[in-house]
Amino acid sequence: MDTPRTFLLVLVTILTHSFANGCVLNTDPTFSRWKQFGYNNVPFIFYPGDYTAAEQSLILQAMAQIKSDMGSCFTWTQYTSPPTDGTNFVIISKAGGPGVASQSCYTYPGMITLQQGKGQYMAIQSGVNGCLSNVRQVMRLLMSLLGQRFEHNKPNRDAYVNINRGIATAVSLNYGAYNIYNKSLVLSNDADFDYNSVTLLDPPTFSNTGNPVVTGKTVGINNVGRLSLKDCQCLSFLYSCTVSCQNVYSGAPLPTQFIVIPTSTSTSTSTSTSTSTSTSTTTTPFAFPFDLGRRR
């Protein structure tokens, strides 16, 4: 057999095998995997002054949990100032970029393919429309950043979950948080739904009552801040990992995890770091408001 054909055969086999499982992967070529210089690596900065030490710690914990559940197949590399060597990176901020501040969390579903080291914003903020109350909420957004999109927006989701728009916040409705993805921009298996995915909304998110907006039709949604077996298998497929994925939800229920972080309002702790306020990078980073991972 010639090599390209063999490769194609292997790829199709992997695809077919992998997508006997759930999950929704980005296929929009505008966004790529975070693979740079031969490594699975997500370089990032925290927007200066946006986060308290506790909030930074929560975000770092979410990164570490994904890394650990993926057998260290990825690295998250924190910079104290924007890299200037053309490395593509993420700017984690509350507002999600200049201009009108986002009222919710958002991210692009992957690395902007043509970023050219300018940086791309993502919004991580607290509140009922945010994603900063616990590690699981942050993990959900980070999964989208890596290229695995939200399970409750997948094209076949109405066969598996109910969406109670009546108790959903106005912000989430306005932002299209329950829209179904454009089928030509994602890869997913219509015959499956992963009720354990960390990409699913937890009960407080977008809820006016505290009851979950999204609920399983026959099976309950259960995730407490660990990747599900299928989350892990999907990312493993996307990033060519060799991790042996664990099913942490197969046995007894895991302890519930609710660490509510006090809202910051930039306390005086300020952690006077590395002064590098030069920010002389004249290029404007990519930003657009109000993306809940639903774009196009």
Ligand X SMILES: *[C@@H]1O[C@H](CO)[C@@H](O)[C@H](O)[C@H]1NC(C)=O
Closer to ligand X by Cβ: residue 136 or 157: 157
Closer to ligand X by Cβ: residue 185 or 261: 185
CB of 185 to ligand X, least distance (A): 5
Closer to ligand X by Cβ: residue 73 or 185: 185
The residue behind tokens 């006077």 is 272
CB of 8 to ligand X, least distance (A): 23
CB of 180 to ligand X, least distance (A): 10
Answer for the pair 119, 84: CB distance below 8 angstroms, yes or no: no
Closer to ligand X by Cβ: residue 162 or 190: 190
Residues that bind ligand X (CB under 6 A): 182, 184-185, 296
Closer to ligand X by Cβ: residue 194 or 291: 291
* CA–CA gap between residue 270 and residue 267 (Å, rounded): 7
Residue nearest to ligand X (CB): 182
CB of 156 to ligand X, least distance (A): 16
Answer for the pair 61, 258: CB distance below 8 angstroms, yes or no: no
CB of 290 to ligand X, least distance (A): 16
Closer to ligand X by Cβ: residue 5 or 296: 296
CB of 30 to ligand X, least distance (A): 9
